[in-house]
Amino acid sequence: MPPETADALRGHILIVDDEPVVTDVLGTLLRKEGHEVLSASDAATGRAMLESEGPWDAVLLDVMLPDANGLDVLRWIRDRDPDTAVVMLTAFGTVENAVTAMKLGAFHYLTKPFKNEEVRLRVVRTACATSSRTSSFLKGLVR
């Protein structure tokens, strides 16, 4: 794969979670895959970063944040950037929350503790592949 192709397939990913161990583990895992990763520990910081440092390919978003419900943040993201893939994270997974998140436009819903391989292979690569920025690049390759 040419270097410019590899660079274009790397994602710009934001992790919004108030648990430092979660942001550290996810950040390390995703950086090893070559993604650019930033994190926020609350909804207010996450929203500010989403507005000022985009475009984002994917957001990994905790359902329970200290200053907001993650589902409300998901609605806010969908209103502003419907192309960003949002993966919901929760330690308190219920079928009802998962269904609600998917109806609101979440790309995927992961329960903590998550499997690193699931994040690495299934969620992030697919989320990045579905983003408009990466999709535009891939369409250019097909021409």
Query: Phi/psi zone of residue 128: left (φ > 0), alpha (ψ -120 to 50 degrees), beta?
Result: alpha
- pLDDT grade, residue 42 (50/70/90)? very high
**Residue 60 confidence (pLDDT):** 95
Q: What is the pLDDT of residues 84-133, one digit of tens each?
A: 899 999 888 788 888 899 999 998 888 888 888 888 877 766 666 666 55
pTM of the model: 0.83
Residue labelled with tokens 């994602």? 11
If we measure between CA atoms, which residue out of 97, 121, 113 comes closest to residue 21? 113
Q: Is the pLDDT of residue 9 over 80?
A: no
10-26: average pLDDT = 93
Q: Is the pLDDT of residue 39 over 70?
A: yes
- pLDDT grade, residue 25 (50/70/90)? very high
Q: Is the pLDDT of residue 140 over 60?
A: no
Domains of the chain with CATH codes: 3-131 (3.40.50.2300)
41-68: average pLDDT = 95
Strand ranges, E, within the chain: 12-16, 36-40, 58-62, 85-90, 108-111
- Output 44 or 120, whichever has higher pLDDT: 44
For residue 23, count other CB atoms closer than 10 A to its CB: 20
Q: Is the pLDDT of residue 63 over 60?
A: yes
- pLDDT grade, residue 36 (50/70/90)? very high
